Every structure is written in C-alpha cells, then in structure tokens.
Amino acid sequence: MIEELERIKEKYDKLTADLTDHRFLSDPQKLREISKKRAELEPLVEKYAQLKKIRRDILESKEILKHPQSDEELRSLAEAELKTLQRQEQKLIEELKIMLIPKDPNDEKNVFLEIRAGAGGDEASLFAQDLCRMYMRYAEKKGWNHELMQASYSPIGGFKEAILNIRGDRVYSLLKYESGVHRVQRVPQTEASGRIHTSTVTVAVLPEAEEVDVQIDPKDLRIEAFGASGPGGQNVNRNYTAIRITHKPSGIVVSCQDEKSQHRNKEKAMRILRSRLLDQVQREQKEKIAQDRRSQVGTGERSEKIRTYNFPQSRVTDHRVNLTLHKLECILDGELDEIIDALTFHYQAQMLSSLEKQKIKAS
C-alpha cells in the first residue's frame, strides 16, 4: 500500500509542477485537465501526509519509552500518547485502503431513475409515485437538479412508470445502490376492510450516457410520431408531438410525450435511449467479468427484494445490510443519507475484501 501511495504522491507532485509549466500555461483546456486530475488525488495525498506524520510521532514516543533516563511522568505521558497515535494510525490505514479502491468510472455521471409499478395493481402505482417523490426530495436536499422525463399514469393517478433525470455532483456514486425491488406493506386507500397489502415497485438506476459513450447509427432507428395522452387516457394534444424511438438492433423502445414540442420529446427520448444502451453494454461486460459485479455497482439486480417500507410500524428495512430504521416518514421525505452511507460502506468493504484476496492469490 505504501508503495502505491508513494507513486500517487509522485504523480501529484508532477501535476502540481505542470500547473506552472510554461508549456501548458497557454493551453486552458490542458490546464483544466491537469487541475482536475490533481484535485482528484489531493484528498488521498493529504491523508497519506497525515499517516506519515503520525508514524513519525509514534517513533518519537517509542524512543522516549526506550530511553533509560526518561522519568516516570514522561514515560506515562508517552505511553498514553502512543496508544492514541496507534489508534489514529489504524483508522487512517483503513480509510486509505478504501480510498485506494478503484473508482467506478460512472460515479461522476448523472442518472436516469426508471421507476415501475410491479405486483400489487393500483397500490403499486401509488407507491411508485411515493418513491419518485422521495428521490426528488433527496435530490433537492443534495442541491441536485431533477426533471420528470416521462410518466405513465394509472387510472387512480399513480405512476405505472416514471423516468426521472437527476443531475449534479457525483449523482451515480450515491444512487447506484437503489436498483432493485422495493416492497411496501400498508393498508391501501381503496381497501375498506383495513387489511395490510403488499406490493412492489422496481427501480433501475442508469448512468446518463453522453454521445461519446454510445455511438448510434441513425439507420438503426425507427422514429414515429403519435398523439400524446395523459392521466385517465384523455387526449391532451391532437397534434403528433409524442415520439417513439425503436433501436432496431437491440429492440429497445423509448417513447416520450411530456413536452409540447416534437423536437424536445425526441431529444429527451434520445437521451434515455443512449443511457439504456450504455447500461446494456456495461451489464454484458460485467456478466463476463464476474457474476456478482453488477450488484456491487448497482446496475441491475432487479429480481431481488432490496428494501421493505412497512407503514404500520413506520419501519424501513434494507435487506442487503440488515439495517432497520423506524422513521419511514422522514425517509420518504428524502432523508436517505443513513441508508446510502451504510450501503456504500458495505459494498466498499466487500470490494476491499475481494482485492485483498486477489493480492494474496497473486503473491
């Protein structure tokens, strides 16, 4: 680990020197690239500097304890200091190990959240709407921007399907573990007998693809315009402004009708299509690399129940980390940090364990 940290420190020092190199001063784009790379390494370099200082202090404390002429009071202080420093050293080592885990290349990306009602009929669609609002509120608390890209309504007003675009700083890194089946247990609004009903909603988190990530040949697309409709099925727009795009090689179909402009609907549909194609390619690659990799980076174990929202007990349980919180109302209002932090720590620990096993095998 120390050798790797030293290499990173050397790279950081070189990038620092490059910022004042006359060869790059006249190239603003190159300077931005250098600054970005340096900024990415800075937290790691600062943490490593803290570790080196603590290790120097540990050596000083040990020298005092070894010295035969040290008085009893000084030795007592040195012993207490040594214990504190060793605890700090261990904590820093664990933090550095996590920071050295290879970064998911999608972590910096914006996302499309695809929320679909599953088992449970109208109640599932109402909960899909609740989840959509939960993620919107979470985005607002994080200072991110969100936009409802597409919505298909149930007869009682919930969402059969909703696609939410969330844009901001490291969105995917925090939301990638939300993919999966979310289960709700509550008394439905339409249930006269007051029985608890169980229904499900699936959530898929797709990193938003840029044009450079996915190349789409226009010849592979079938683009159709149709009349938009809204809640209850009534006609909203007699003009053909809604757009349906079919990607013929993959069979993926995307439709968008929320905008009054055909051009805007087409633009939105293309953004969603690019992200679905990127997700498909990445899932195929991960399948070849390792069977469990997909669940670790949150790109699609949609068949498994990941979380239960129990209304009678005001309880939310995430089954992957055995975390239960009795504050359902707060969580549905977007207070997801405690759950997301626990999931991040859990998957980082899994990744760290896997990397350490690989190193042992290699040695």
Number of other residues whose CB lies within 10 A of the CB of residue 279? 23
Q: Output the pLDDT for position 70.
A: 66
> What is the sign, positive or negative, of the torsion defined by CA atoms of 347, 351, 352, 357?
positive
Alpha carbon distance 249, 280 (integer Å):
12
Give the integer Cα–Cα distance in Å for 182 and 131. Answer: 9
CB 167 within 8 A of CB 136: no
Instruction: Count CB neighbours of 236 within 10 A.
Output: 15
How many Cα atoms within 13 Å fall on the side-chain side of residue 216?
24
Question: Distance between CA atoms of 158 and 151, rounded to whole angstroms?
Answer: 10
Sheet bearing 252-256, strands edge to edge:
221-229, 235-247, 252-256
Cα separation, 61 vs 88, whole angstroms? 14
Q: Which domains are seen in the chain, by residue range?
A: 2-99 (1.20.58), 111-209+294-350 (3.30.70.1660), 218-283 (3.30.160.20)
> Minimal CA–CA distance to 253: which of 213, 223, 225, 230?
223
- For residue 238, the model assigns a pLDDT of 53
CA 25/CA 36 separation, integer angstroms: 15
Within 10 angstroms of residue 161's Cβ, the number of other Cβ atoms is 16
The per-residue pLDDT string of the chain (363 residues; one tens digit each, 9 = 90 and over) reads 788 888 888 888 888 888 888 787 777 888 888 888 888 888 888 988 999 999 998 988 888 888 766 677 788 888 888 899 999 998 888 888 877 777 888 888 899 899 999 888 888 999 999 999 999 999 999 999 998 888 888 888 888 889 899 999 889 999 999 999 999 999 887 666 678 888 999 998 988 877 556 777 888 888 888 776 654 444 444 567 788 888 888 888 888 887 777 888 888 888 888 888 888 877 776 665 444 333 433 333 334 689 999 999 999 999 999 999 999 999 999 999 999 999 988 888 888 777 777 766 666
- The model's pTM is 0.67
**Which pLDDT belongs to residue 278?**
81
CA distance 306 to 339: 12
Residue 41 pLDDT: 87
- Look at residue 135 in the predicted model and tell me its pLDDT: 96
**What is the model's pLDDT at position 61?**
85
How far apart CA 145 and CA 162 sit, in angstroms, is 16
What's the gap between Cα 108 and its chain centre? 9
pLDDT at 67: 76
Neighbours of 216 (CB within 10 A): 16
Looking at residue 298, its pLDDT comes to 38
Beta carbons within 8 Å of 314's beta carbon, 6+ residues apart: 326, 327, 328, 329
